[in-house]
Amino acid sequence: MKRQSLLFVWQESIAAEFLDRLVKWSENIKISDPLEEGCKLGPIVSRGQYEKVMNFISNAKSEGATILYGGNRPKHLKKGFFVEPTIITDVTTSMQIWREEVFGPVLCVKTFTTEEEAIELANDTHYGLGGAVVSKDRERCDRVSKLLQNGAVWVNCSQPCFCQAPFGGTKWSGFGRELGEWGLESYLSVKQVTEYVSDEQWGWYQPPKQ
């Protein structure tokens, strides 16, 4: 399971209730050896990455963000590069934790008031691999999904992948696509053939005499 940083932009009117539910849900995540039954969150891949994730969390706090939940090594695990699921609020768009990819179990939450503000916040990034829209308003979902600068957008779900659908990003998240018919393009060599069929001279081209 790849655990990269996540940015949540949530409507201000429901943010408090959402965060309360999110914390309660996070409290029930089982952090353990991945081979243990019921494990939901295993260790970070290496010491270097573990230290990088912890530095991200520490820098966010020093820059004025609030560590709403987590942010430490789980107390019951003495060995391994484990990090608690971490929820960070009071984030500004200039903070490192918002601008850079963490690749750890870290979630940044920022609120918005208008739809236009939400789209602007979502697109204000160097990256563009995936995004999601959650709303009961189907027209809004369609409208916002078209304006998000991502290679993939999920509506009222997150990260289901299908081999028939193209996968890839925009901006610093890369170019080109894998999977589906679009993924075959990497294996193809396209040739252009142009034929002039008129008997009239075209510019300095002379029509063939026979």
Of 114, 65, 106, residue with least CA distance to 85? 106
- At 73-131, the pLDDT tens digits run 999 998 999 999 999 999 999 999 999 989 999 999 999 999 999 999 999 988 999 99
- At 17-59, the pLDDT tens digits run 999 999 999 999 999 999 999 999 999 999 999 999 999 999 9
Instruction: Specify the pLDDT at position 158.
Output: 86
Q: Contact at 8 Å (CB) between 169 and 153?
A: no
The H-or-E segment that residue 34 falls in is none
- Specify the 3-state DSSP secondary structure of 153: strand
Query: What's the pTM?
Result: 0.81
Enter the CATH code of domain 6-177. 3.40.309.10
Counting every residue written for the chain, the total comes to: 210
Strand partners, 171: 127
Ramachandran angles phi, psi of 204, nearest 5°: -95, 5
CA separation, residue 149 to residues 26, 68, 125, 169 (Å):
29, 29, 9, 9
Domain boundaries, given as residue ranges, for the chain: 6-177
